[in-house]
Homo-oligomer: A and B are copies of this chain.
Amino acid sequence: MKLYDYPGAPNPRRVKIFIAEKALDIEIINCDMSKGEHKTPGFLEKNPSGKIPVLELDDGRCIPESFAICRYLEAICPEPNLFGRDPFEQAFIEARNRMIEFELWSQIGTSWVNGPIVARMGLFKQIPEAKAASDRHVERYYERLNREFADSKWVAGDRYTIADISLLTAIDFAAAMVSLKPDASLKHLWRWHEQVSSRPATQV
């Protein structure tokens, strides 16, 4: 199997952490987005959305979308379990993961496409008002997470799961690339961040 990656991009990092947690041996291929390699006809056959990551199986079939790739890897390599062990836990972890994606990650994305790095690329018309709104949403979501982590050690239930990997990659990208680092006063959120960041698998 091969994983199409671009260093620094948050969605492939999610899969790379997942791969490290499972100790899988998967070839990493650099898809150079700066040269538009993710928009070539050949790559669009692998993923019609023209995005990374993509997992290519040995028979040539492709799976796009980081979360779907991780679910495939969980199915073929069930341990350590990161998606839940029974129908309720699986649904609960997925629900928590979706909150992170739709209520935090999507807002970070709006701030990113309307921020200075993307502005310099000249790809999108900038909407500063949209960035101001999404910045506020991100800060409010960090405050909500801080309240939740006062009572819970992990994002979904009482153990480390795919939802923690999603949150870590979102926050690290927001802090490094979008100037949206959680405020130092959010102690419970930072306690969680330190705990997850100390895992060997997250050093990618």
Contact = CB atoms under 8 A, between A and B. Distances in A.
A106 B63 CA distance: 21
A24 interface: no
B68 A148 contact: no
B76 A144 contact: no
Nearest to A125: B133
Contact of A144 (B48, B95, B99, B133): B48
Contacts of A95: 63-65, 68-69
Given A63-B92, A125-B129, 8 more contacts: A57-B88, A63-B88, A63-B95, A65-B99, A68-B91, A71-B87, A75-B87, A75-B91
Interface of A: 48-49, 57, 61, 63-65, 67-69, 71-72, 75-76, 87-88, 90-92, 94-95, 98-99, 102-103, 106, 125, 127, 129-130, 133, 144, 148
24 contacts: A48-B148, A49-B99, A61-B88, A63-B91, A63-B95, A64-B99, A65-B94, A67-B98, A68-B91, A68-B92, A68-B94, A68-B98, A69-B91, A71-B87, A71-B90, A72-B87, A72-B90, A72-B91, A76-B87, A102-B106, A127-B127, A127-B129, A129-B129, A130-B130
A49 B95 CA distance: 10
B75 A90 contact: yes
A201 to B, nearest CB: 21
Contacts of A87: 71-72, 75-76
Contacts of A69: 91, 95
Contacts of A49: 99, 103
Contacts of A125: 129, 133
A96 to B, nearest CB: 9
